Amino acid sequence: MRRRRGQLALLGVIVLSVTLLALASMVPVEPIYAYERGHMQCAQLVHVARACLASGRCTNETLQELVSRVLAVNATEPMLMYPVLQYTRYEVSSWSVANRTVFTIKTLRASSESVEVYVLAASYPYSGKYRKFWLGKEWTLYNLTLWYMHSYASPFFNVPQLCPRIYDPSGLADVKPLEQCLWRVGVPGNYTLRDEFGIPVRVVVRG
């Protein structure tokens, strides 16, 4: 009797297993994929902020126009770029010029996340003057050290410190790299250089 009961229990387990396997084969479980383009989206917004600054007239309207252009170009491959809020803030003191651009975007992780682009040019007090002949004219140049850096923050990547190359398009100023993000420059008073992205770099001369 006990042996027969054991055989019936084993048979029940086998039948149940076969039934479950049959049901599983009838309703296959398939993974659901979500393609997150967040890295591309944030990188494009960093480019937009730099292009806006390089234009020399970076306003809210300019930023919106640049974002619209990117969306139009990528219409066939949407990047889910949704800048909901945007701010541009300039901070100017006697020795530094800072710009901070913030985009609020929508991602698959959250309905509101931020992409920030921060650009800083900080001038140390000048350490001396010297004369330079340029284009047939004598100039007095102020010799000083300049700290210039970019910083990018986003939900998908962070660049705490980037040190772009800087130069003078006119050729008047002297620009020499010292070490990471530090430059030795000679300028004829308050002056504007450019970085490798075309962004104006304001040098403030102070004693």
User: Which residue in 99, 85, 91, 7 sits closest to 53, CA to CA?
Assistant: 99
pLDDT along the chain (207 residues), means of 10: 48 50 54 63 86 85 82 67 57 77 75 86 95 94 97 92 96 95 96 95 91
Strand 174-179, strand 113-123: pairing? unpaired
* Distance in angstroms (rounded) separating the CA atoms of residues 75 and 156: 22
Beta pairing, strands 174-179 & 166-167: unpaired
Spatial distance between the Cα atoms of 52 and 132, rounded to a whole number of angstroms: 34
- Please report how the helices 60-73 and 38-54 are oriented relative to each other, as an axis angle in degrees rounded to 10: 130
Phi, psi (5° rounding) for residue 190? -55, 130
| pLDDT confidence of residue 89 | 64
Residue 65's pLDDT is 85
CA 50/CA 88 separation, integer angstroms: 12
Confidence at residue 153, expressed as pLDDT on a 0 to 100 scale: 93
The Cα–Cα gap between 79 and 46 comes to 14
Q: How much is the pTM?
A: 0.76
Encoded tokens for 30: 């398939």
Alpha helix (H) residue ranges in the chain: 2-26, 38-54, 60-73
* Lookup: tokens for 16: 């149940």
Instruction: Check residue 10 and give its pLDDT.
Output: 46
CB-CB contact of 187 with 176 (8 Å): no
Residue 164: count other Cβ atoms within 10 Å of its Cβ: 16
| First-to-final CA distance of the chain | 106
